[in-house]
Amino acid sequence: MSTDLTAPTGESLAYWNDTRRPFVNLVFVLPWIIVYECGLWATGTGGEVARNGADAWLRTALATWGVSSALSLPLFVLGGLLVWHLVSDHPSRVSGDTLAGMFAESLLFAFVLILLGQTADMALHSAFVLDVTSPPVASLGWELRLISFVGAGIYEEFVFRLCLLPVSYFALRVLLLPHQSAVIGAILVTSVVFGLAHYFPVDPETGSRGLLVAACQQVWSRPELWFGFKFRTIAGVFFAALFYWRGFGITVGCHALYDVVVGVILMNRL
């Protein structure tokens, strides 16, 4: 899906373009992946419960293809970005100022989403902060929660924005929808799926997650989940728009920082 929209002019043009280039995104995302994977490795088998759902889905898919190494998933993500870089034939330069700017943007957009969530919380009088994490993750210590949230930023954005969003866009284009309608439709569809994905029922014995239909049934039958689902869907729209305009790396950073601030810092104050 094209992201070539009207961009700033002057000195900010190079930065605007660089932040959306695959090699720059690869370099920016690499430290997040190292923190997540090394964090899980350091905690041993106790860290398995902190694995993000998207991480588990992707590893299950790779296992069906006979790939089960612990490093298979991060290498798959980084390899995908590298292939994208080679195919697009973009320059390989990476500026420290660009990476610092991407982190600053990630933090800025994370706080914008936090303000949006707190505004909705006050307007609807719901316990939003308590609904940010699923019960298994919410019961973990802050270290494992932090690791889990970094993984959510990486792998949920990889699944829902880098993979599912372009696929949905091209599917809608095949159905002869015009470009703008296909973009909006893809954002809405993937955001609803993103919201529902947080409510896939988990088998307590096997750890396997239910299908999308089961998530729909669970949300529909439990009104106390409606606010969380609606906000996660809105967050999906926010992340999709951010991905469309600012690229994969900033979206990963925004998602991870948002989850860490809300799910670790704010929860520890309650």
Q: How big is the CA angle at 87 (ends 83 and 91), to the nearest 5 degrees?
A: 95
**Which structure tokens are listed for 25?**
């995104």
5 assigned to some structural domain: no
**Which structure tokens are listed for 3?**
């992201």
* Confidence category of residue 269, pLDDT binned at 50, 70, 90: low
235 assigned to some structural domain: yes
**Which structure tokens are listed for 193?**
């799926």
Q: Please, is 237 exposed, middle or buried when counting C-beta atoms within 10 Å of its C-beta (0-12, 13-18, 19+)?
A: middle
Residue with the larger pLDDT of the pair 117 and 189: 189
| DSSP secondary structure of the chain | ---------TTHHHHHHHTTSHHHHHHHHHHHHHHHHHHHHHHGGGGGGG--HHHHHHHHHHHHTT---TTHHHHHHHHHHHHHHHHHT------HHHHHHHHHHHHHHHHHHHHHHHHHHHHHT--TGGGSS-HHHHTS-HHHHHHHHHHIIIIIHIIIIIIIHHHHHHHHHHTT--HHHHHHHHHHHHHHHHHHHTT--B-TTT--B--HHHHHHHHHH-GGGHHHHHHHHHHHHHHHHHHHHH-HHHHHHHHHHHHHIIIIIIHHT-
pLDDT at 128 over 50: no
204/209 Cα distance (integer angstroms): 9
Cβ proximity of 47 and 267 under 8 Å: no
Question: For 135-189, what is each residue's pLDDT tens digit?
Answer: 456 556 778 888 989 999 999 999 999 999 999 999 999 998 999 999 999 999 9
Length of the chain: 270
pLDDT of residue 46: 57
Q: Please, is 152 exposed, middle or buried when counting C-beta atoms within 10 Å of its C-beta (0-12, 13-18, 19+)?
A: buried
Cβ proximity of 236 and 218 under 8 Å: no
142 assigned to some structural domain: yes
7 assigned to some structural domain: no
**Which structure tokens are listed for 216?**
């729909």
Question: For 10-19, what is each residue's pLDDT tens digit?
Answer: 567 889 889 9
55/77 Cα distance (integer angstroms): 11
130 assigned to some structural domain: yes
pLDDT at 270 over 50: no
- For residue 182, which phi and psi values (nearest 5 degrees)? -65, -40
3 assigned to some structural domain: no
Residue with the larger pLDDT of the pair 130 and 268: 268
109 assigned to some structural domain: yes
159 assigned to some structural domain: yes
pLDDT of residue 66: 83
Task: Say which residues have a Cβ less than 8 Å from residue 237's Cβ, sequence separation at least 6.
Answer: 187, 188, 191
Asked which of 20-24, 48-52, 58-62, 95-99 is least confident by mean pLDDT, the reply is: 48-52
pLDDT at 208 over 60: no
**Which structure tokens are listed for 188?**
């809405």
**Domain span including residue 28:** 12-268
Domain total of the chain: 1
pLDDT at 25 over 90: yes
